[in-house]
Amino acid sequence: MTPLRIDRTQVIVTSPGRNFVTVRIDTADGVTGYGDGTLNGRELSVASYLRDHLAPLLVGRDAHAIEDTWQYLYRGSYWRRGPVTMAAIAAVDTALWDIKAKVAGLPLYQLLGGASRERCLVYGHASGANLPELFDSVRAHLAQGFRAVRIQTAVPGLGSVYGVASSPVGGAERYDYEPARRAAVPVTETWETRAYLRHLPSVFEAVRAEFGPELILLHDAHHRLTPIQAARLGKALEPYDLFWLEDPTPAENQDALRLIRQHTTTPIAIGEVFNTVWDYRQLIAEQLIDYVRSPATHAGGITHLRRIADYAGMYQVKTGMHGPTDISPIGLAASLHLGLALHNFGIQEYMVHSDETHAVFQPGYSFADGGLRPADEPGLGVALDVECAARNPYQPAYLPINRLTDGTVHDW
């Protein structure tokens, strides 16, 4: 087969409401592919990795040789794994899959085994500073057609905490929460676990009483609990039948999940900060989790995320790919194409990008009946307006730092 020579690789850093890192690969035959390498708060590190170290290696390579390119970039750097490396490789990998599908004249999922379902079930982000606001937010998501919602609330006595939208949530078109604040240094948030543990079960009791047993409910503990605190929360939430409790405890300590499993049957989702299959090995092999969270953007692209999903599938662990607004529409589309094809797809996070973001990235995926379906056009099905991207230059923005009430730094 005639090679499809890579002619040019561009790294586009743009900030339509928030920062994104996009790779554009053009072949000598004029086929263009896009990939997402956004890493919230560390975008310039990924951009430099791509621009200074990977782009020069790609010129003249065969764009069709996706596996060889993945192995060349992963093993060739010597220094393996890690969020920056794997986001950079992901951006190149996704762009090459986009090109291959465009040349084949097929939507990408057709190259990954074809559709295993009509659409990918998604969950939206419902939140509120108090129960009335939270209920309004849930109703707004139900009115938009969501069948699954993540529930995040303020904690009495604490100020701004993770996951509570800043805009008026009642009837809002979208969940308006961008944790990475545009500033030269991160803002500080305050946390107190005992207040959170006292409060949260009553919130889910109220949500179940208001919306009934059918609605799919999820919650993100965002890495903040000790193992025994996470075990206690999982047990306390069992009566409310959560689809999953996410990131209950920092998962570098994978033995911690053994303790949690001994105390609760609430399903566990972990992995949005993981970036290779090796990060999951113990958690999957010991059945310590129920969902893997990595998206294509942070786990080496479609090539490697598929390996993670297939390993998970051997243990009846399903996917729950990360889909916040700091994954671009290109990254979301990549996850959707793979998710549509996978047998062990579980659920896709869908935070809904802003109009500003959609001025730069025009996705072809469609939302209906509580799910997303990728575009049926050749490739990923996302267009990028490079002129509009250029009109939105990078602005420093960082995720908050979390401190306990005594001032000790804590997981955010």
> What SS3 state is found at 98?
helix
C-alpha torsion sign, points 313, 315, 318, 319: negative
Provide the 3-class DSSP secondary structure of residue 393.
coil
In whole angstroms, give the CA distance from residue 101 to residue 122: 24
> What does 290 interact with, of ligand CS2, Mg ion, none (CB < 5 to 8 A by kind)?
none
- Residues whose CB is less than 8 angstroms from the CB of residue 212 and which lie 6 or more positions away in sequence, other chains included: none
Among candidate residues 162, 280, 291, 350, the one labeled active-site is: 162
Write the CB contacts of 124 (distance below 8 Å, at least 6 apart in sequence).
141, 144, 146, 148, 149, 150, 175, 350, 351, 352
Is the CB of 36 or the CB of 272 nearer to Mg ion? 272
Residues from 298 through 357 that contact ligand CS2 (CB under 6 A): 322, 324, 326, 349
Q: What does 179 interact with, of ligand CS2, Mg ion, none (CB < 5 to 8 A by kind)?
A: ligand CS2
Q: Name residues whose C-beta falls within 8 Å of residue 405's C-beta, 6 or more positions apart in sequence.
A: 190, 191, 192
* Pairwise CA distance, residues 68 & 62, whole Å: 9
Site string for ligand CS2, 23-62 (x = CB under 6 A): -----------------x----------------------
Q: Active site residue: 64, 125, 141, 222, which one?
A: 222
CA nearest neighbour of 164 among 199, 205, 216, 214: 199
279 binds ligand CS2 (CB under 6 A): no
Q: For residue 304, indicate whether it is catalytic.
A: no
Least distance CB 322 / ligand CS2 (angstroms): 6
Burial class, 186, CB count within 10 angstroms (exposed 0-12 / middle 13-18 / buried 19+): middle
Q: Catalog residues that contact Mg ion under the rule CB under 5 A.
A: 220, 272
- H or E stretch including 28? none
User: Has 162 been annotated as catalytic?
Assistant: yes
Least distance from C-beta 252 to ligand CS2, angstroms?
Answer: 16
Position with the least CB separation from ligand CS2: 40
**Residue 320: CB minimum distance to Mg ion, A:** 10
Count the residues of the shown chain that bind ligand CS2, applying the rule CB under 6 A: 11
In whole angstroms, the minimum distance from the beta carbon of 264 to ligand CS2 comes to 20
Residue with tokens 């850093």: 13
Per CB under 6 A, 84 contacts ligand CS2: no
Q: Is position 399 an interface residue for ligand CS2 (rule: CB under 6 A)?
A: yes
Identify the residue among 36, 43, 98, 272 touching ligand CS2 (CB under 6 A). 272
Residue 222 sits in the site that holds ligand CS2 (CB under 6 A): yes
C-alpha to C-alpha distance for 333 and 170, rounded to whole angstroms: 28
| Residues at the interface with ligand CS2 (CB under 6 A) | 40, 179, 220, 222, 246, 272, 322, 324, 326, 349, 399
Catalytic residues: 162, 222
